[in-house]
């Protein structure tokens, strides 16, 4: 088993096998044991009545078995909500751990949007659906297994044979359709992630009111919406066709056994009375079986959705940023407090500059790799460096305060000056979209910062 598969298995088990899953299973087992016991008390009640014996004890136990399941069932459903939230919390934790300081990904726009879409929308949906699915599957499976065993042993054990035959035939059908169902589910999830990626561009393309950009965004977004809708509905259609086939396959063998048993025991009124009383419950169990097998048919759906999420929790492949840096087109200058800039020889000595306090400017033509150089430095020096990209959503104390772009940047630099302990500060195009007045104020802040730290900057102007 290769490392990535091992990692995915560990992450999946870490996401779902927590204390809430165990609590939920425990209460579901208790609930379904009480539900299954109702068949025992019902048959005992009917036989006691026919034999003209005291039946109040069985009546009380039967009524209790109808009422009591609501309590552990309700507790289990509350716990499943904690299960969902704990799974989501762990996913966010793993996601942040695996992506922390993966600086090379910051320059990959499509991959960034894809991963943000998975984190912000698809993760909560898939994980909550998966937890509910497991809850529903556990509850239904326990109900079916415990009830069919109970009825078979107190009424007619041939029902167990018929039921086993039904499951064997159905399992063959499920095996056949599993790959197709999984493929449809994976395509539907990919379409949802692409749609989420488009929706991330909502703000600028709608709020700014540019007809051209709005038209392009609307075309792409609605095209992706229709694709996601088509694949989602197609997956559900296929699932329901399989579910209907499963329903008939489970019903026929049990109907044959029921008919045969009633004919062969036509003279045994006690047997017939027990059978008639249990018969509606048997068909309810068969309906639950239909639901259980329908849930089994959905395993590939949830499996592939989770596999997609888990793929975001595996260490991403590193991008060779160095290939994007053209050293012969880049120059580095030492910027003195007076504003005078002095060129420093070979730009490759930039890593030696990190030991010198002061302000350094990286220049070069567009596409020469100036920003990539800062990313490369951050990647190599890791947490010893503070990196401020041109466009970001970094958290600052002034977030949420109504300030202009220049005022926000000034406040951010004040925070960096006061609170950032790293001795190397990388600034990428901090002057973009700033007027000369704010550029001067921020440049003065950088000069203050450079008295105690190494500041390496790329400027737009």
Average model confidence (pLDDT) across the chain: 83
Q: Taking each helix axis as running N to C, give the angle between helix 3-16 and helix 299-311, from 0 to 180 degrees, rounded to the nearest 10.
A: 110
Buried b / exposed e along 44-69 (16+ C-beta atoms within 10 A): bbbbbeeeeeebeebbebbeebeebb
Give how far Cα 123 sits from Cα of 114, 193, 202, 308, 346, Å.
12, 10, 20, 10, 47
- pLDDT of 244 > 90? The answer is no
Class of domain 3-311: mainly alpha
Terminal CA-to-CA distance of the chain, rounded, Å? 53
- pLDDT of 167 > 60? The answer is yes
- pLDDT of 401 > 70? The answer is no
Residue 427 has φ and ψ, to the nearest 5°, of -120, 120
- pLDDT of 61 > 90? The answer is yes
Reported pTM: 0.72
Class of domain 321-458: alpha beta
CB 249 within 8 A of CB 166: yes
CB 160 within 8 A of CB 253: no
- The model's confidence at residue 11, banded by pLDDT at 50, 70 and 90, is low
- The model's confidence at residue 32, banded by pLDDT at 50, 70 and 90, is very high
Domain residue extents for the chain: 3-311, 321-458
What local confidence, expressed as pLDDT, does residue 10 receive?
A: 55
Q: What percent of the chain has pLDDT over 90?
A: 15
- pLDDT of 263 > 90? The answer is no
Residues linked to residue 388 through DSSP beta bridges, in sequence order:
427
What local confidence, expressed as pLDDT, does residue 79 receive?
A: 93
DSSP assignment letter at 118: I
């Amino acid at each position: 088993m290769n490392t990535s598969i091992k990692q995915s298995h560990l992450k999946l088990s870490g996401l779902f096998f927590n204390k809430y899953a165990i609590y939920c299973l425990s209460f579901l087992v208790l609930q379904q044991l009480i539900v299954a016991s109702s068949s025992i008390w019902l048959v005992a009640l009917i036989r006691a009545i026919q034999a003209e014996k005291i039946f109040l004890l069985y009546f009380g136990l039967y009524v209790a078995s109808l009422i009591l399941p609501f309590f552990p069932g309700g507790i289990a459903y509350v716990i499943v909500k904690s299960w969902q939230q704990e799974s989501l919390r762990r996913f966010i934790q793993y996601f942040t751990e695996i992506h922390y300081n993966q600086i090379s990904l910051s320059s990959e726009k499509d991959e960034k949007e894809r991963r943000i879409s998975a984190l912000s929308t698809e993760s909560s949906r898939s994980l909550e659906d998966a937890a509910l699915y497991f809850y529903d599957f556990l509850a239904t499976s326990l109900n079916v297994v415990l009830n069919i065993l109970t009825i078979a042993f107190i009424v007619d054990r041939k029902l167990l044979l018929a039921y086993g035959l039904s499951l064997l035939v159905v399992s063959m059908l499920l095996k056949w359709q599993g790959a197709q169902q999984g493929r449809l589910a994976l395509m539907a999830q990919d379409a949802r992630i692409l749609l989420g990626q488009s929706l991330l561009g909502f703000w600028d393309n709608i709020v700014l009111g540019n007809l051209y950009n709005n038209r392009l965004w609307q075309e792409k977004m609605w095209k992706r919406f229709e694709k996601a809708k088509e694949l989602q509905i197609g997956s559900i259609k296929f699932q329901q066709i399989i579910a209907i086939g499963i329903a008939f396959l489970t019903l026929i063998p049990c109907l044959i056994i029921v008919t045969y048993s009633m004919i062969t025991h036509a003279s045994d009124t006690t047997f017939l009375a027990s059978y008639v009383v249990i018969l509606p419950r048997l068909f309810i169990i068969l309906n639950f079986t239909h639901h259980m097998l329908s849930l089994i048919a959905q395993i590939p759906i949830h499996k592939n959705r989770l596999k997609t999420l888990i793929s975001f929790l595996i260490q991403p492949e590193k991008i060779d940023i160095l290939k994007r840096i053209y050293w012969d087109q880049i120059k580095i200058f030492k910027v003195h407090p007076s504003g005078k800039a002095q060129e420093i020889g070979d730009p490759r000595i930039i890593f030696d500059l990190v030991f010198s306090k002061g302000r350094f400017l990286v220049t070069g033509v567009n596409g020469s790799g100036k920003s990539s150089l800062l990313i490369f430095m951050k990647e190599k020096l890791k947490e010893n460096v503070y990196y401020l990209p041109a466009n970001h959503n970094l958290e600052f104390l002034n977030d949420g305060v109504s300030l202009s772009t220049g005022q926000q940047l000034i406040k951010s630099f004040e925070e960096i000056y006061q609170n950032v302990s790293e001795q190397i500060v990388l600034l990428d195009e901090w002057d973009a979209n700033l007027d000369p007045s704010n550029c001067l104020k921020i440049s003065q802040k950088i000069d203050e910062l450079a008295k105690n730290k190494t500041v390496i900057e790329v400027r737009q102007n």
